[in-house]
Chain A
Amino acid sequence: MIAIIGAGPAGLAAAVTAAKKGEKVILIDSSTRLGGQYWRHLPSNWKQKRLPYFAEAQELFDQVLSSPLITWYSNAHVWQAEKKNEIFYLYVVKNGVEEVITAQKVILATGAYDRSLPFPGWTGPGVMTPGAAQAMLKTHGVLVGKKIVIAGTGPFLLPVATGLASAGAEIVALLEANKQWRWVFNVHGLLLNPSKIREGVYYLKKLRSLGISIQYGSTVTSFEAGIATIGKKEIACDVVAVGWGFVPELSLAGILGAKLSVQKDGTVVVDVDRNQETSIQGLFAAGESTGIGGSVLAIAEGEIAAGKGNRVTRWRAQVFAKGLQRVYPVSSGWLSSLNSEVTLCRCEEVKVSDIQSAIDELGAQDGRSAKLLTRAGMGLCQGRVCGRNVSEVVACHLSREVPDRERIASASRPLAGPISLGELGDGLGKKF
């Protein structure tokens, strides 16, 4: 049996491909709905018009739900995993009960989450990731605000802006930190992926029809009492949605000991070979966990991980994804302008100044010791939000680069999600 963790584009494509080859699949996701981040959707009790891009999703959903070979295991979070005698054991919590799932082959399709950078006011209500605004709208039909500023970098800001505006929000500013000319760095990616040109043109036209213009080269520098500061300007709004690209979710890859590596821009990914197999035999990875690349790449990788996919499609999408990193870099400017009173770790409420004192007064010499001394990155989210930022603040204060081993250490964590003692004490409910 193959266990696939994550029912987004990568996991769905992998499940359907494996079932076509006659293999038994269990598709596990902590969400109650299929689709992952990209194909988020409202429940069927909503009367709604589906967007054209959803047709592909619906086809995969139908195949997953109708195949006798695929078990869809929803609302189930894999929090721990191990490999013993060629068998993978996945520890899953479903409805508060822990269960063990065993499989000979595992495909990790755990996706990614928005990358965030700290700024004054970013912990207060009203500041959120573009992903959060998108998720609330696409999964629950809820607009997060009436007057919204969208900022950060990357192509994902565009569908978020058009989605929120079409649903009735006023987008008071759409700020792309990078300049438009940087697309010269991805001309080859565009030529190899003409559909991306069409997609870009579609969003630019849509923005124009909604009366939204993109301001390049600027961002939000603070948000307080309903006022966002953008350079020298102040804008009234109720929501500021800021995102700086995505962070691959690597907890399970790290727990199972798969080799992780650091990309040029500092993003940590799981290493895979041409068949999407990691350094651990039988453990495969597909989608955003192998590098941020969007849904087309995620689907191609999922199919290849399941044993039958188009390598040329994957190559094209990979070239495009690499180019995107050059178009939308996150410059280290945020570090030099960082106010020492800003909260760095949201969970443990650790400020930049606490990290600086850990270095200056307590002698911390790397991210790990600074974290131990301040508890930054040691709260409930286990450093998912601040881990990378803390390492970068420490390195900047010490005038160093963040070592790769530290980046890898802060991307791996002992649990793929906190679990309550009650759930642990309940023992193992069921075995597949």
Chain B
Amino acid sequence: MIQPNKSLTFTFNGESFGAIPGQTIAAALLQAERTTLRTTRFNDEPRSIFCGIGICWDCVVTVNGVSNQRSCLIEVSDGMVVKS
């Protein structure tokens, strides 16, 4: 398996990351060993991906200002701004 170049860049909480075209936000962040995607509303617990297929909504982040977006489903586009 030969991986294509990470030709896309996006930011997550201000830090810059690369992504391969077709990769979701969660996949690109996991590949960079960034496991915590957000903390919870009530108990401030860290959360990452759980179902990986858009069912559990644990991986939600804010994408280009739109909140509650499932990072395991949304593919990275160049210049995307992602926040916890």
**Which residues of A come within 8 Å of B, CB atoms?**
30, 32, 37, 42-43, 45-49, 113-114, 116, 123-129, 131-136, 139-142, 144, 167, 249, 346-347, 349, 379-381, 384-385, 418, 420
Is the pair A141, B3 in contact by a Cβ cutoff of 8 Å? Answer: yes
Q: Which residues from A are CB-within-8-Å of B28?
A: 140
Q: Report the bound CA distance from A136 to B32 in whole Å.
A: 13
- Known interface pairs A46-B4, A346-B58, A349-B42. Does A131 touch B31 (Cβ–Cβ under 8 Å)? no
Is the pair B49, A128 in contact by a Cβ cutoff of 8 Å? Answer: yes
Is the pair A127, B50 in contact by a Cβ cutoff of 8 Å? Answer: yes
Query: In the complex, how many angstroms separate the beta carbon of B31 from the nearest chain A beta carbon?
Result: 5
Is the pair A142, B31 in contact by a Cβ cutoff of 8 Å? Answer: yes
Is the pair A136, B55 in contact by a Cβ cutoff of 8 Å? Answer: no
Query: In the complex, how many angstroms separate the beta carbon of B56 from the nearest chain A beta carbon?
Result: 5
- The 8 A-B residue pairs whose C-beta atoms are closest, nearest first, are A132-B52, A140-B27, A125-B48, A380-B57, A43-B22, A125-B35, A47-B2, A135-B52
Q: Report the bound CA distance from A128 to B27 in whole Å.
A: 14
Which residue in chain A gives the minimum CB-CB distance to B32?
A142
**Which residues of B come within 8 Å of A, CB atoms?**
1-4, 20-24, 26-28, 30-31, 35-37, 40-43, 45-58, 60, 66, 68, 72-73, 75
22 contacts between A and B (CB under 8 A): A32-B22, A43-B21, A48-B1, A48-B2, A114-B51, A123-B58, A125-B37, A125-B47, A129-B52, A131-B52, A132-B53, A136-B52, A141-B1, A141-B20, A142-B31, A346-B50, A346-B58, A380-B57, A381-B57, A384-B56, A385-B56, A418-B68
A125, A144, A380: the one contacting B46 at CB < 8 Å is: A125
Q: Which residues from B are CB-within-8-Å of A124?
A: 45-48
Is the pair B48, A128 in contact by a Cβ cutoff of 8 Å? Answer: yes
Query: In the complex, how many angstroms separate the beta carbon of A6 from the nearest chain B beta carbon?
Result: 13
Q: Report the bound CA distance from A355 to B51 in whole Å.
A: 24
Q: Report the bound CA distance from A129 to B3 in whole Å.
A: 25
Q: Report the bound CA distance from A301 to B79 in whole Å.
A: 43
Q: Which residues from A are CB-within-8-Å of B4?
A: 45-46
Q: Report the bound CA distance from A43 to B22 in whole Å.
A: 7
Q: Report the bound CA distance from A126 to B66 in whole Å.
A: 26
Is the pair B56, A381 in contact by a Cβ cutoff of 8 Å? Answer: yes
Q: Which residues from B are CB-within-8-Å of A47?
A: 1-2
- Known interface pairs A125-B35, A379-B57. Does A113 touch B23 (Cβ–Cβ under 8 Å)? no
Query: In the complex, how many angstroms separate the beta carbon of B7 from the nearest chain A beta carbon?
Result: 9
Is the pair A113, B53 in contact by a Cβ cutoff of 8 Å? Answer: yes
Q: Which residues from A are CB-within-8-Å of B46?
A: 124-125
- Known interface pairs A48-B2, A349-B43. Does A135 touch B57 (Cβ–Cβ under 8 Å)? no
